[in-house]
Amino acid sequence: MRGRTAGGGCPHTSFHSHTQMPHELPKSYEPGAIETRWADYWVQEKLFSVATPPEGETRPVFTLLLPPPNVTGRLHMGHMLNQTQMDIVVRWHRMRGFITLWLPGTDHAGIATQMMVERDLAKEGKKRRDLGREKFIERVWEWKKLYGGAILDQMKRLGASVDWDREYFTMDENLSRAVREVFVRLYEEGLIYRGKYIVNWCPRCETAISDLEVKHEEVAGKLWEIRYPVIGMDEFITVATTRPETMLGDTAIAVNAKDERYTHLHGKTVRLPLMNREIPIIPDELAQPEFGTGAVKVTPAHDPNDFAAGKRHNLPQIDVMDEHAHMNENAGAYAGLDRYEARKRVLADLQEQGFLVAEKDYSLALGKCDRCGTVVEPRLSEQWFLKIQPLADRAKEAVERGEITIVPENFRQVYLNWMNNIYDWCISRQLWWGHRIPAWTCGQCGEIIVAREAPAKCTKCGSGKPEQVSDVLDTWFSSGLLPFTTLGWPEKTRDLEVFYPNTLLITGFDILFFWLARMIMFGCHFMRDHEQDAAIKKANGDEGKNESKNDSVPFRHVYIHALVRDADRQKMSKTKGNVIDPLEIIERFGTDATRFTLAAMAAPGTDIAFSESRTDGYRAFANKIWNAARFMFMNVDRVEPGLRPTLSGTSVVLDRSRSQTLEDRWIFSLFNRVAKDVNEALAAYRFHEAANRIYDFFWGALCDWYLEFCKPRLNFEEGGDRENARIACANLVNLFEASLRLLHPIMPFITEEIWHKMYDEDPPNKSIALAPYPEMTESQVDLDAEVEMAILQDLIVSVRNLRAELKVEQKAKVPIELFSQEPAVWSLIRQNDDAIKRLANVESIVEVAQSKATQYPARSSARFDVHMIYEKKIDVAAECERIKKERERIDKEFANNQRQLGNEQFLAKAPAPVVEGLRRRSQELVVLIEKAKNKMEELGCS
């Protein structure tokens, strides 16, 4: 239900019926109902859906991909920060006239989703193997249908202006087809290979995981030294290990060839304790003389370095564990034991048999599964790998050459460092949920067939029904393709032509390598011959810099956002229990206030310590806006019912033809300045600057000064001029409307609500989101007005200041005497006599020919002296104290100025405006010092 809260009556009923104001607004802003209403409206009206632009389109394009949240996910503060920033940038571009596409979707999240469903199954006492692969996958799809949309629904509450018609899921048929295509092409190009290598294995998830999915944790462990008897000699060789149970799989001892301590043992063998196996001593660089004893055990099946050494020396690989990290039949007497149990027994037995030499405290970086925390076990297994170097080279180049810019810039270096030290990527996972690898094994001859569709028979031996490999692909393999697959690849679609490369990517640094790096690798590889529509590329410009740029990159700009922490700067985590639920915050303060908080705190590169008190403050800001609107409506309804804004392009319309009051000139000047700053801030992702600038303008300038100045003009009934009131109203309405547009990207809901009301629910666009964004109009910047206003403000504040100090009753009006040496100041004060009286609570202003600065109570500025006529016992001591303090400050500054101005080096080297400014200030200071001195004398201060 949209519509005014007052309901019922005709909005244009005449001004005489005082019972019914057309714009009746509640006294305070309640965001809840208003926000959900507009959130629904935006989705239902499909306001942000983008049709494929036809040939010949000449508008600039802005494309942004939503980093797909896991289907299993629930919205957290990180999402909200990310999405708020994206929405701000997206709304801003849309309002600036870009064809703006923001693509939403979710990620199938292999391990996470499988775990969720396995947990459900466990409640029924079942395991996934009880169901079998097909049934299990059906079950996952059911789960996805039921819960998978939750996070996207939550997004709607944030107001995210995405194109819901283009929502994707990484397991959609078209995206899956693209994944198969990519796999096959990479395989055909020789970039994907299969082989038996050591991978990171999670015994709980029962799958291989990539290097990135291993989190290292520094723990206090032990280093055990074990001695192996050298055969045929009365000697032992001692090695050190942190994982003694792996010694069961040792197939050699390595020593460094240059290590003279062991030269005499070259070519000898040792007897492996517990297993009673004879293994050689080999010279290999694996052993570093400086470390430990200089000799190292070699276990090719359980350690990546040992694996490599084993290859060099043709050593057997003895795998002593199974996929659950239990010891297997190769572990002899220890078969069947869990790895840690086996460790205990092995150590005990070694001890007993006299082979354990020492047990030392040792700090080691233990690798744990990112997903479940289980200690990762290096495991020898058959996996699929992506040869990364060729892809990384291009991906590196794209960033080095500036075809992709990264903000904040330090992440550029992080990215390049990583690319420079990259290893092949293990892309196969032993899971059921995910994109199954498009490869088949022939049961007959063992041939591996990689194909887009299931082959009917073996391509080599011709026997029937090859079986598809059971592994699926790493989830990031498919999400790395999204920038082009969501636009229709491998088809050469018009969408690709228009929207690729994406303009921007906003994401967190935590998936810099997982996702961002992979998108760049895949994009540069698969889109290498791509060219964006020339007209659109030109329209987009980037000041012309884009035109020479390569169009294979997945996006032209990257903005990396910070981490949201709790108010005590602690990282939020479920285990710590300090997670702030954004929806709960929204419930309490409103989405707008929450968004504003995140924007205002989002200085690039700095983590955000989310504090509710800030949000509370911004809720007050929303309320302030609401009440300023009430004030405006109240006056419009009284002065000129039915008055609407004169929406004209990107500027604010100032009616300069008739009334040109100082406050109008001033606020319009300021507005334009702010518009300029905000546009610049947003262009540089300086969200906090944009937010603060608008906040200060709206509250500190518009509400605190402009509206106060306007009041008498609007009040024509009390003898005012009705025409003047009309002009004031029109200007106020236009200014307000433009301010709403300026604020809209950050606070979309309240701005939408008020904006519609300004047009009596019949606005020129379906949404303020489709109205143009304000830009600076140079001609409306009015420096004189700004200077004049500053003098008036200074005067008013001075008088308020005196009143507060003398504790003059709030209601009492006092006369003041004013002096200035400048005729211009005189006329300024005369023209604004009424405003000064009202805002400073002054009864009368008497112009005096002689300064009364020395008579208490008085204040001075460089431009005027004001003396208040008020009979009250003066606290001479306190006043002296105040002046003294002020003088100290001025003296210090003056001394500093003189020192600099007396310095020839400074005069010679400092830029002219700085010297100029200092000189001007010095003159002011001389005046101020003189005034203060006189006053002190007058008062008889010591």
Minimum separation from the CB atom of position 433 to RNA (A) = 24
Using CB under 7 A, which of 218, 352, 529, 762 touches RNA? Answer: 218
Indicate the SS3 state at residue 769: helix
Residue 601, interface with RNA (CB under 7 A)? yes
Q: Does 567 bind RNA (CB under 7 A)?
A: yes
Query: Which residue of 179, 205, 239, 694 would you call a contact of RNA, by CB under 7 A?
Result: 239
Contacts of residue 414, defined as CB under 8 A and 6 or more positions apart, other chains included, come to 509, 512
Q: Which stretch binds RNA (CB under 7 A): 46-54, 81-89, 165-173, 630-638?
A: 630-638
How many of the chain's residues bind RNA (CB under 7 A)? 100
Of the candidates 768, 756, 852, which has an alpha carbon nearest to the alpha carbon of residue 802? 852
- The residue among 360 and 528 lying less far from RNA, judged by its C-beta, is 360
Query: Which of 50-58, 83-91, 135-143, 919-927 is the region at the interface with RNA (rule: CB under 7 A)?
Result: 919-927
Report the site for RNA in 359-398 (rule: CB under 7 A): 364-365
Contacts of 237 (CB under 8 A, 6+ apart): 227, 228, 230, 253, 255, 262, 265, 270, 281, 293, 295
CB closer to RNA, 575 vs 905: 905
Q: Contacts by 679-685 with C-beta closer than 8 Å and gap 24+?
A: 679/773, 679/775, 679/776, 682/88, 682/89, 682/92, 682/745, 684/407, 685/85, 685/89, 685/407, 685/559, 685/604
Q: Given strand 439-441, what is the order of strands in its sheet?
A: 448-450, 439-441, 467-468
- Give least dist CB 459 to RNA, A: 37
Q: CB 571 → RNA: shortest distance, Å? A: 6
CB contact burial 189-222 (16+ within 10 A = b; e otherwise): eebbebeebbbbbbbebebbbbebbbeeeeeeee
Among 13, 410, 470, 646, binds RNA (CB under 7 A): 410
Which part of the chain contacts RNA (CB under 7 A), choosing from 728-736, 799-807, 816-824, 843-851? Answer: 799-807
Instruction: Say how far apart CA 196 and CA 205 lie, in whole Å.
Output: 20
- Let me know: does 732 contact 639? Beta carbons within 8 Å: no
Cα–Cα distance list, 745 to 536, 691, 769, 926 (Å): 24, 10, 8, 47
Site for RNA in 130-169 (CB under 7 A): none
Sheet with 377-386, strands from edge to edge, namely 207-209, 192-202, 377-386, 425-426
Q: Does 330 bind RNA (CB under 7 A)?
A: no
Does the protein bind RNA through residue 561 (CB under 7 A)?
A: no
Q: Using the minimum distance from each CB to RNA, give the nearer residue, 57 or 696.
A: 696
Is there binding between residue 624 and RNA (CB under 7 A)?
yes
Of the candidate residues 326, 379, 614, 859, the single one contacting RNA (CB under 7 A)? 614
- Minimum distance, C-beta of residue 829 to RNA, in the bound complex (Å): 18
Determine if 623 is a binding residue for RNA (CB under 7 A): yes
Residues numbered 669 to 708 that lie near RNA (CB under 7 A) are: 688-689, 692, 699, 703-704, 707-708
906 binds RNA (CB under 7 A): yes
Which of 28, 49, 463, 646 is close enough to bind RNA by CB under 7 A? Answer: 28
The CA-CA-CA angle for residues 765, 33, 590, to 5°, reads 95
CB of 413 to RNA, least distance (A): 6
587 binds RNA (CB under 7 A): no
What is the β-pairing status of strands 814-819 and 842-847? parallel
Q: Which is nearer to RNA, 47 or 603 (CB)?
A: 603
Among 316, 909, 923, 938, binds RNA (CB under 7 A): 909
- Residue 548 as a binder of RNA (CB under 7 A): the answer is no
**Tally of CB atoms within 10 A around 763:** 20
The percent helix, strand, coil of the chain (3-state, each to 5) is 45, 15, 35
Q: Which one, 356 or 469, has the nearer CB to RNA?
A: 356
Q: Is residue 631 near RNA by the rule CB under 7 A?
A: yes
Closest CA to 251 of 380, 381, 369: 380
- Closer CB to RNA, residue 103 or residue 520? 520
* Residue 616 within binding range of RNA, rule CB under 7 A: yes
Which position has the token pair 């492996």? 272
Binding to RNA (CB under 7 A): which residues in 264-323?
286-297, 303-305
CB of 469 to RNA, least distance (A): 26
Q: Which stretch binds RNA (CB under 7 A): 42-50, 455-463, 615-623, 760-768?
A: 615-623
Least distance to RNA, CB of residue 549, Å? 24
* Interatomic CA distance for residues 536 and 105, integer angstroms: 25
- Considering only the stretches 10-18, 431-439, 461-469, 566-574, report the one whose residues sit in contact with RNA under the rule CB under 7 A: 566-574
Note the residue count of the chain: 942
893 binds RNA (CB under 7 A): yes
The smaller minimum CB distance to RNA, of residues 131 and 703, is found at: 703
Q: Please, are residues 48 and 663 in contact by the beta-carbon 8 Å criterion?
A: no
Regarding 810 and contact with RNA (CB under 7 A), the answer is: yes
Binders of RNA among residues 449 to 508 (CB under 7 A) are none
Number of H helices, E strands in the chain: 30, 29
**Smallest separation (angstroms) from RNA to the CB of 444:** 39
Give whichever of 126 and 711 is closer to RNA, judged by the CB atom. Answer: 711
Lookup result for tokens 């233990």: 366
Torsion of CA 853, 859, 864, 867, to 10 degrees: -60
Specify the stretch interacting with RNA by CB under 7 A; choose among 61-69, 488-496, 517-525, 607-615. Answer: 607-615
Under DSSP, the state recorded for 457 is B
Q: What dihedral angle (degrees, nearest 10) is formed by the CA atoms of 164, 168, 174, 179?
A: 150
Is there binding between residue 921 and RNA (CB under 7 A)? yes
By CB under 7 A, tell whether 216 contacts RNA: yes
DSSP 383-439: EEEE--HHHHHHHHHHHHTTSSEEESTHHHHHHHHHHHT---EE-EES-SSS-B-SE
CB-nearer residue toward RNA: 461 or 874: 874
Q: Does 896 bind RNA (CB under 7 A)?
A: yes
Asked if 418 is part of the footprint of RNA (rule: CB under 7 A), the reply reads yes
Going by their DSSP bridges, the two strands 428-429 and 472-473 should be labelled as antiparallel
